[in-house]
C-alpha cells in the first residue's frame, strides 16, 4: 500500500511540528506549504544588522509537554537557553516585577490599589463572588473584584482587543487570563509557573519552527516555501486537488490524500470547492481578528535596560508591550547596538496601521517619555504589520465559529488545528501539542481516528494562555 500523502498548510509551529512528527513516525508522505520565504508565521524570526528579531515578544514556557520539550532540546542543543524572566508592568505609574513577586508587591504596589484589592477580597469572602455572567467584564469582576479589573485588566483589554470589556465574551476571560482568580494569583506568587523561567533559542523564537522543518526535511518531508493554496477542490472518491500560486503568479497543482490546515479558518473556508454554503461564508465574515503594528527602534547602546519586556495597561500609552530581544538569550553582540520592539494593537487600515515608520518612531519615543524609560535617538526605525495578531471573542462569536467548524468537520480528510486554524488564544507549546496529538490520531495505514481527536479537542479547550 502506497504512503498516504498529507499536505500541511502553513509553516508556523503547528505546521512544522506536524511535518516533523509525521515523518519521524513514518506515517505519511508530507508536503508543507508556506506562502512566505520564512518559517514560523507570527512566531517567526528575522535578522537585521546582526540581531535576530521576533514578531513581538515570544518565549517557550515551562508548561510545554515533556515529549515536545525533549524534542526541542535535542534539536536545538546549546542553542536553547533556560532563562530567568525579568519583565515589568507599569501599574498606576509604578513599576512591578513580572511575573509578580510577593516582596516586590509589598514594597512597590500603589497603596490605594492595594487597599481596594484587599477590600474586594474581603467582600467576596463575606458575601461570595456572585454570578459570573457571560461577558469578559462580568467574569473577571466576579473572580478578581472591581479594583484589579478597573485599573489593570479592563484598560489592557481595551487596548489589546479594541472593544469594551462588556462587549467581549466571557470565554475570552477564561482562555486569556491565566491568573483569573485571587486564589490563582496567590498560588502564582507562592510558586511561579516554571519557577519564573522560560526557554528561548539563540537565533530568535522562529528557530523552533525552523529546526522542526529542517529535521522534518532530513526525514523526507518536502517544505515548499513562497507558495500559497489558492483553491482546494474536493475530488470524487476522496482526496483533494490543490491549486498553488506564488507571488509571480505562477501556478501548479498538487494532489493530496489529506489536508492538515493551520491557516486562518476564515481564509480556508473561502478557497474550498464545491462552493461553500452561504451561511458558512456569512459566519466567516463575523469572525474578526485584532491587527498589530510592530515598531523596531535600533538604539546606539549595548543594552537599553536589563528587562526583557515591559507591559503597559494604561490608556495614556499607545503600546501594550516593548521587548529587547538581546535580553531573551542573554547575548552581548553586537556591541554598541540593540534593537527594541514595541507592539501597538490596531485595526487593519486605521490611523496607526497607516502611519509611516518615522511617525511610528516618534509615537514610541513619546510613550517612552511618558513611562519614564531611557530615551536614545534611534539610528533606524522600521515596522512590521500582523493582520491577524489576536482573535477577538465578541459576544456570540462561538455560534459563528461552530457553524464553520461543523461544516469543515463534515469534509472527509480535512483537518484544522493550531492557533489560527482553531481561532484560539494559544501559546506555541499549545500549537505543538495539537500537532503531536493529530499525528497520534493517524495510524500506520493513514486512517485518522476522529473519536480520539475529539478527546484531544476537549483537552485543547482547557488551554489557557501563559503570559
The predicted pLDDT at position 373 comes to 97
pLDDT tens string 430-466: 999 999 999 999 999 999 999 999 999 999 999 988 8
Residue 240 falls inside a structural domain: yes
* Domain span including residue 38: 5-45+62-81+201-286+394-460
Q: Which residue has the cell 534593537?
A: 339
Asked, for residue 227, whether it belongs to a domain, the answer is yes
The pLDDT tens digits of the residues spanning 89-147 come to 999 888 998 877 777 777 888 888 888 988 888 888 888 788 889 999 999 999 888 99
Pair 20, 154 in one domain: no
| Residue 223 and residue 146 in one domain | no
Q: What is the pLDDT of residue 184?
A: 67
Residues whose CB is less than 8 angstroms from the CB of residue 322 and which lie 6 or more positions away in sequence, other chains included:
309, 310, 312, 340, 341, 342, 343, 364, 367, 373
pLDDT, tens digit (0-9, with 9 covering 90-100), for 403-437? 999 999 999 999 999 999 999 988 999 999 999 99
| pLDDT band with cut points at 50, 70 and 90 for residue 237 | confident
Do residues 207 and 270 both lie within one domain?
Answer: yes
Of the listed ranges 39-53, 121-135, 329-343, the least confidently predicted one is 121-135
Q: Are residues 167 and 229 both part of a single domain?
A: no
CATH classification at residue 244 = 3.50.50.60
Strand partners of residue 240: 234, 256
> Quick one: 278 and 409 in the same domain?
yes
Cα-Cα-Cα-Cα dihedral sign, residues 421, 260, 62, 203:
negative
Same domain, 234 and 158: no
Residue 177 DSSP SS3: coil
**324 within some domain:** no
| pLDDT value of residue 26 | 96
Weakest-pLDDT range from 117-121, 238-242, 268-272: 117-121
Task: Looking at the structure, tell me whether residues 178 and 207 fall in a common domain.
Answer: no
178 and 218 co-located in one domain: no
**pLDDT (0 to 100) of residue 1:** 53
Contact present, 9 and 34 (Cβ < 8 Å): no
Evaluate whether residue 440 is within a structural domain: yes
Regarding predicted confidence, which is higher, 257 or 115? 257
d(Cα 281, Cα 275) in Å, to the nearest integer?
Answer: 10
pLDDT of residue 10: 97
For residue 464, the model assigns a pLDDT of 86
247 shares a domain with 173 = no
pLDDT tens, 170-211? 999 888 775 566 666 666 655 676 778 999 999 999 999 999
Tell me if 417 is assigned to some domain. yes
Whether residue 89 lies inside any domain: the answer is: no
Q: Is residue 271 located within the same domain as residue 400? A: yes
Q: Using the 3D structure, point to which of 188, 214, 241 is the last residue of a domain.
A: 188
Provide the number of structural domains found in the chain.
Answer: 2
The dihedral formed by the CA atoms of 101, 391, 437 and 62, expressed in degrees to the nearest 10 = -10
pLDDT at 186: 64
Q: What is the CATH number of the domain that holds 139?
A: 1.10.3110
- Judge if 178 and 217 occupy the same domain: no
In a domain, 319, yes or no: no
Is pTM, for the whole model, over 0.85?
yes
Amino acid at each position: 500500500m502506497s504512503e498516504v500523502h498529507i499536505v500541511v498548510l502553513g509553516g508556523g509551529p503547528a505546521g512544522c511540528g506536524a511535518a516533523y512528527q509525521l515523518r519521524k513516525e513514518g506515517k505519511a508522505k508530507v508536503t508543507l506549504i508556506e506562502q512566505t520565504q520564512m518559517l514560523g508565521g507570527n512566531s517567526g524570526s528575522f535578522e537585521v544588522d546582526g540581531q535576530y528579531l521576533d514578531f513581538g515578544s515570544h518565549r517557550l514556557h515551562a508548561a510545554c509537554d515533556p515529549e515536545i520539550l525533549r524534542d526541542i532540546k535535542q534539536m536545538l542543543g546549546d542553542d536553547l537557553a533556560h532563562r530567568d524572566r525579568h519583565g515589568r508592568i507599569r501599574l498606576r505609574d509604578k513599576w512591578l516585577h513580572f511575573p509578580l513577586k510577593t516582596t516586590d508587591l509589598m514594597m512597590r504596589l500603589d497603596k490605594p490599589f492595594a487597599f481596594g484589592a484587599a477590600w474586594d477580597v474581603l467582600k467576596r469572602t463575606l458575601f461570595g463572588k456572585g454570578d459570573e455572567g457571560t461577558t469578559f467584564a462580568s467574569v473577571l469582576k466576579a473572580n478578581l473584584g472591581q479594583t484589579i479589573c478597573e485599573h489593570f485588566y479592563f484598560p489592557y483589554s481595551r487596548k489589546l482587543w479594541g472593544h469594551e470589556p462588556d462587549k467581549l465574551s466571557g470565554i475570552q476571560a477564561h482562555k486569556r487570563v491565566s491568573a483569573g482568580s485571587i486564589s490563582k494569583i496567590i498560588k502564582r506568587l507562592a510558586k511561579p509557573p516554571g519557577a519564573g523561567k522560560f526557554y528561548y533559542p539563540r537565533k530568535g523564537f522562529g528557530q523552533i519552527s525552523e529546526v522542526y522543518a529542517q529535521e522534518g526535511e532530513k526525514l523526507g518531508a518536502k517544505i515548499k516555501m513562497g507558495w500559497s493554496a489558492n483553491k482546494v477542490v474536493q475530488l470524487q472518491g476522496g482526496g483533494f486537488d490543490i491549486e498553488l500560486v506564488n507571488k509571480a503568479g505562477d501556478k501548479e497543482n498538487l494532489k493530496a490524500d489529506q489536508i492538515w490546515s493551520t491557516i486562518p479558518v476564515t481564509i480556508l473556508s473561502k478557497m474550498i470547492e464545491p462552493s461553500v454554503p452561504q451561511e458558512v461564508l456569512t459566519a466567516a465574515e463575523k469572525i474578526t481578528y485584532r491587527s498589530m503594528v510592530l515598531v523596531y527602534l535600533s538604539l546606539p547602546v549595548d543594552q537599553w535596560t536589563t528587562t526583557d519586556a515591559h507591559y503597559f495597561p494604561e490608556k495614556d500609552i499607545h503600546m501594550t508591550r516593548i521587548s529587547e530581544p538581546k535580553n531573551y538569550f542573554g547575548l552581548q553582540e553586537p556591541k554598541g547596538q540593540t534593537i527594541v520592539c514595541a507592539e501597538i494593537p490596531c485595526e487593519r487600515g486605521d490611523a496607526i496601521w497607516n502611519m509611516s515608520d518615522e511617525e511610528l518612531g516618534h509615537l514610541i519615543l513619546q510613550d517612552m517619555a511618558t513611562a519614564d524609560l531611557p530615551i536614545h535617538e534611534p539610528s533606524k526605525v522600521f515596522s512590521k504589520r500582523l493582520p491577524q495578531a489576536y482573535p477577538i471573542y465578541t459576544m456570540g462569536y462561538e455560534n459563528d465559529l461552530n457553524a464553520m467548524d461543523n461544516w469543515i468537520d463534515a469534509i472527509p480528510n480535512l483537518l484544522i488545528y493550531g492557533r489560527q486554524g482553531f481561532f484560539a488564544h494559544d501559546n506555541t507549546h499549545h500549537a505543538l501539542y495539537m500537532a503531536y496529538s493529530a499525528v497520534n490520531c493517524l495510524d500506520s495505514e493513514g486512517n485518522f481516528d476522529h473519536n480520539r481527536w475529539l478527546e484531544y479537542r476537549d483537552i485543547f479547550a482547557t488551554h489557557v494562555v501563559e503570559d
